[in-house]
Amino acid sequence: MDISAIRRANLLRLAATYPTKTAFAQAAGIDISLLYKILHGQKNMGNALAKRAESTLNLTSGSISTLDYVQNVHKNGTITPDQQDPQRALMELLAVSALSREDARLLLHLALRLKLDDSCTAP
Protein backbone atom coordinates (compact mmCIF):
# COMPACT_ATOMS: atom_id res chain seq x y z
CA MET A 1 0.00 0.00 0.00
CA ASP A 2 1.51 3.34 -1.01
CA ILE A 3 1.54 6.51 1.11
CA SER A 4 -1.37 8.05 -0.81
CA ALA A 5 -3.60 5.03 -0.16
CA ILE A 6 -2.60 4.98 3.52
CA ARG A 7 -3.40 8.67 3.94
CA ARG A 8 -6.69 8.24 2.07
CA ALA A 9 -7.71 5.29 4.26
CA ASN A 10 -6.78 7.15 7.44
CA LEU A 11 -8.70 10.24 6.32
CA LEU A 12 -11.75 8.06 5.68
CA ARG A 13 -11.51 6.55 9.16
CA LEU A 14 -11.09 9.95 10.77
CA ALA A 15 -13.92 11.48 8.72
CA ALA A 16 -16.22 8.69 9.95
CA THR A 17 -16.06 10.20 13.44
CA TYR A 18 -17.74 13.42 12.24
CA PRO A 19 -21.40 13.88 11.33
CA THR A 20 -20.48 14.98 7.78
CA LYS A 21 -17.41 15.14 5.58
CA THR A 22 -17.87 18.93 5.55
CA ALA A 23 -17.61 19.02 9.34
CA PHE A 24 -14.46 16.89 9.16
CA ALA A 25 -12.94 19.09 6.45
CA GLN A 26 -13.52 22.18 8.58
CA ALA A 27 -12.08 20.52 11.69
CA ALA A 28 -9.02 19.31 9.76
CA GLY A 29 -8.47 22.62 7.98
CA ILE A 30 -8.89 21.07 4.54
CA ASP A 31 -10.94 22.62 1.75
CA ILE A 32 -14.00 20.40 1.22
CA SER A 33 -13.49 20.11 -2.55
CA LEU A 34 -9.86 19.08 -2.01
CA LEU A 35 -10.93 16.54 0.63
CA TYR A 36 -13.37 14.93 -1.81
CA LYS A 37 -10.68 14.77 -4.51
CA ILE A 38 -8.27 13.12 -2.07
CA LEU A 39 -10.88 10.64 -0.81
CA HIS A 40 -11.83 9.68 -4.36
CA GLY A 41 -8.22 9.27 -5.50
CA GLN A 42 -8.25 12.25 -7.87
CA LYS A 43 -5.54 14.04 -5.87
CA ASN A 44 -2.92 12.95 -3.38
CA MET A 45 -2.45 14.41 0.07
CA GLY A 46 0.96 16.04 0.22
CA ASN A 47 3.30 16.17 3.19
CA ALA A 48 2.47 19.78 4.09
CA LEU A 49 -1.29 19.16 4.10
CA ALA A 50 -0.86 15.94 6.11
CA LYS A 51 1.22 17.76 8.72
CA ARG A 52 -1.25 20.66 8.90
CA ALA A 53 -4.22 18.28 9.31
CA GLU A 54 -2.38 16.32 12.03
CA SER A 55 -1.61 19.53 13.87
CA THR A 56 -5.16 20.87 13.53
CA LEU A 57 -6.68 17.56 14.69
CA ASN A 58 -4.12 17.20 17.52
CA LEU A 59 -2.77 13.94 16.13
CA THR A 60 0.75 12.62 16.56
CA SER A 61 3.11 13.86 13.85
CA GLY A 62 3.18 11.33 11.00
CA SER A 63 0.04 9.51 12.13
CA ILE A 64 -1.99 10.17 8.98
CA SER A 65 0.84 8.59 6.98
CA THR A 66 1.20 5.51 9.19
CA LEU A 67 -0.48 2.27 8.16
CA ASP A 68 -1.07 0.91 11.66
CA TYR A 69 -1.88 4.18 13.43
CA VAL A 70 -5.56 4.65 12.66
CA GLN A 71 -7.06 1.19 12.41
CA ASN A 72 -10.31 1.87 14.21
CA VAL A 73 -11.72 5.26 15.12
CA HIS A 74 -14.65 5.27 17.53
CA LYS A 75 -17.54 7.74 17.59
CA ASN A 76 -16.10 9.43 20.68
CA GLY A 77 -12.88 10.16 18.79
CA THR A 78 -10.60 7.73 20.59
CA ILE A 79 -8.26 5.75 18.39
CA THR A 80 -7.47 2.13 19.21
CA PRO A 81 -6.09 -0.86 17.31
CA ASP A 82 -8.48 -2.71 15.00
CA GLN A 83 -11.01 -4.71 17.03
CA GLN A 84 -11.55 -7.59 14.61
CA ASP A 85 -14.14 -5.84 12.46
CA PRO A 86 -13.45 -7.39 9.07
CA GLN A 87 -16.65 -6.04 7.52
CA ARG A 88 -15.73 -2.45 8.34
CA ALA A 89 -12.14 -3.02 7.24
CA LEU A 90 -13.38 -4.40 3.92
CA MET A 91 -15.70 -1.43 3.39
CA GLU A 92 -12.88 1.01 4.12
CA LEU A 93 -10.56 -0.81 1.76
CA LEU A 94 -13.17 -0.81 -0.99
CA ALA A 95 -13.79 2.90 -0.46
CA VAL A 96 -10.18 3.71 -1.38
CA SER A 97 -9.56 0.99 -3.96
CA ALA A 98 -10.16 1.32 -7.65
CA LEU A 99 -11.71 -1.94 -8.83
CA SER A 100 -12.25 -2.90 -12.40
CA ARG A 101 -15.85 -3.52 -13.38
CA GLU A 102 -15.16 -7.26 -13.56
CA ASP A 103 -13.48 -7.33 -10.13
CA ALA A 104 -16.40 -5.40 -8.61
CA ARG A 105 -18.85 -7.87 -10.18
CA LEU A 106 -16.91 -10.84 -8.80
CA LEU A 107 -16.62 -9.30 -5.34
CA LEU A 108 -20.35 -8.56 -5.26
CA HIS A 109 -21.07 -12.15 -6.32
CA LEU A 110 -18.83 -13.47 -3.53
CA ALA A 111 -20.38 -11.17 -0.93
CA LEU A 112 -23.89 -12.23 -1.90
CA ARG A 113 -22.86 -15.89 -1.77
CA LEU A 114 -21.38 -15.42 1.69
CA LYS A 115 -24.53 -13.66 2.87
CA LEU A 116 -26.68 -16.50 1.54
CA ASP A 117 -24.41 -19.14 3.08
CA ASP A 118 -24.45 -17.28 6.40
CA SER A 119 -28.26 -17.03 6.45
CA CYS A 120 -28.55 -20.76 5.71
CA THR A 121 -26.36 -21.69 8.69
CA ALA A 122 -27.88 -19.22 11.16
CA PRO A 123 -29.75 -20.88 14.05
Q: Which residues pair with 73 in a beta bridge?
A: 79
74 lies in the same domain as 58:
yes
33 lies in the same domain as 68:
yes
pTM: 0.56
71 lies in the same domain as 95:
no
7 lies in the same domain as 48:
yes
**pLDDT averages per 10-residue partition of the chain, 123 residues:** 85 84 92 93 94 89 75 43 54 61 78 66 50
C-alpha gyration radius of the chain: 16
Q: Which stretches of 1-123 are DSSP H helices?
A: 3-15, 21-28, 32-39, 47-56, 86-96, 101-121
14 lies in the same domain as 52:
yes
Number of folded domains in the chain? Answer: 2
52 lies in the same domain as 12:
yes
56 lies in the same domain as 94:
no
Which residue range is the domain that position 41 belongs to? 3-80
